[in-house]
Structure 1
Amino acid sequence: MNYYAALSPMKDAEKSQQYRQDHLDYLGKLAEQGKVFAKGRFTDGTGGLVIYIAEGFEEVEEIVKNDPYVVQGARGYEIHEWTMTTDAVLPEK
């Protein structure tokens, strides 16, 4: 499995708010399948980032293209394969 960083730059803030719950529900289903490593919005309102776990680029691109934010024109997307390196210790939930 590989990690992919999917940037989702804001295209339409109003549509982003309108389809937010659909987007979150979509990511929730993907998380249940083990496809989401991390996710979050940028605090400056310019969009967000999802780190996906997948077999290959094509799988991630298909996932991203079906995100309600992208389908409805609220957000664009840019995908990059990502190699994680960290010494961080994540807190327990």
Structure 2
Amino acid sequence: MALFALQLRFTDPDGRMQVRPAHREYLTRLHQAGKLLAAGPYADQTGALLIYDVADEAEVREILANDPYTPADVYEIASLQEWQPLFPVQPA
């Protein structure tokens, strides 16, 4: 397994709010499955940071393809990088 840090930049604030409930339900399922370690928007609501625990980048991209935000076209990927934390993320 590998950790990936994904930074999103929101491109359609109004459209995002329409699909946000479905997006958050999706993230909850990923978190419960152990695939999503941390997630949340930036304080200024311009984007978000998500930390995934997955097999590889292809799995992250598959997860994104199934996210309700994707067909709504409300974000762009600012950065997607494999992450090697100095201090591991602790499960909630």
**Under a length normalisation based on structure 2, what TM-score does the superposition of the two structures give?**
0.88
Summarize deviations over 1:23-65 as a string: whole Å, max 9, x none.
1000011111110111110011211011000011101111012
Structure 2 gaps, min length 5: none
| Aligned match of 1:16 | 16
More strand by share: 2
Q: Is the 8 A contact 1:4 1:82 kept in 2?
A: yes
Give RMSD over aligned pairs: 2.0
For residue 87 of structure 1, report the CA deviation from its aligned partner.
8.2
In structure 2, how many angstroms separate the alpha carbons of the residues matched to 1:62 and 1:80? 15
| Aligned match of 1:70 | 70
| Aligned match of 2:52 | 52
Larger radius of gyration: 1
The answer as to 2:86 corresponding to 1:82 is no
Count of paired positions: 91
Structure 1 gaps, min length 5: none
